[in-house]
Structures are given as structure tokens and as C-alpha cells.
Amino acid sequence: PGVGCSLFTYRGLRIGTLICYDCEFPETTRHVALLGAELILVPTALGAQWGWVGRTLIPARAFENGVFLAYANHSGRENGFDYLGESFIAAPDGEVLARAGQSSELLVAEVDPSRVQQAQARLPYLVDRNRLQMSAAIAE
């Protein structure tokens, strides 16, 4: 557990990091996006039985926040565990720009910050979320 995330800048790109399971929570990915991340790096060790997470859920995190997301997953078998592999780089519109197979691979994709601005302007989730009016009360 921590108290939030921070960003760093590399070659002019604002980058945040989430570790493994952290990215599966919409709130953590949104938190990093609201800090201004254009790219989120996610090192992970997703088990082979969780393919839906790596193929659908995590690319959706890129889409719903309008950011690039690089998901670097462990692959192969180790200590009796099978890992999914299938690392990928997703664009701010959710398009998977590059995806590995079930073994180690080097992935390369162009990360253009203007695509972040375009995606966030097209679907302004980060701005419009402030207009939501939700009650903290739970109906019984």
C-alpha cells in the first residue's frame, strides 16, 4: 500500500508506473492519468489462466484514460506457475500497437503524445468525471 503515485519525464514524455495487480483497479490507472501521465508502464506476472485481463481489461484502461499503456508480462513456466506472456503496448484509443506471444519478445511502437491529447479531447472522461453526482449512501 502507498499514498499515491508520481510521474517521471523521459524524452519529454510524462510516464507513470503501476505494478501488476494495481493496474486492474480503474482508480489507480485513473489516478496516474489525472496526474498527467501520457504513458503508463506496467511490469506484471499475470498467470496463464487470466488471459481476459491481459487481452481485454488492461487495453480498456488505456482507452478509458486516453493514455498509452505498456504491459510487460512474465512468460513461460516458473516454480510450477504458467504465465500468460502476451505483453503489449496499447494506444490511447485502446488499439494494441504491438503484442508478444507466449515467450519473451522485444516490442516496439511509436508513442506520439499528440495521440493522448486527441484521445482525451475525443472522449473527455477525465474532465467529465467531475460532473458525476454520486451519493455515498448505500441502498438497503
**From the first residue on, what is the mean pLDDT of each consecutive set of 10 residues in the chain (140 residues)?**
86 96 94 97 97 96 97 96 97 96 95 96 89 73
pLDDT reported for residue 119? 96
Looking at residue 139, what is its pLDDT?
61
Beta bridge partners of 96: 90
pLDDT value of position 1: 64
- Residues near 17 by beta carbon (within 8 Å), at least 6 away in sequence: 5, 40, 41, 42, 43
Q: What is the pLDDT of residue 90?
A: 98
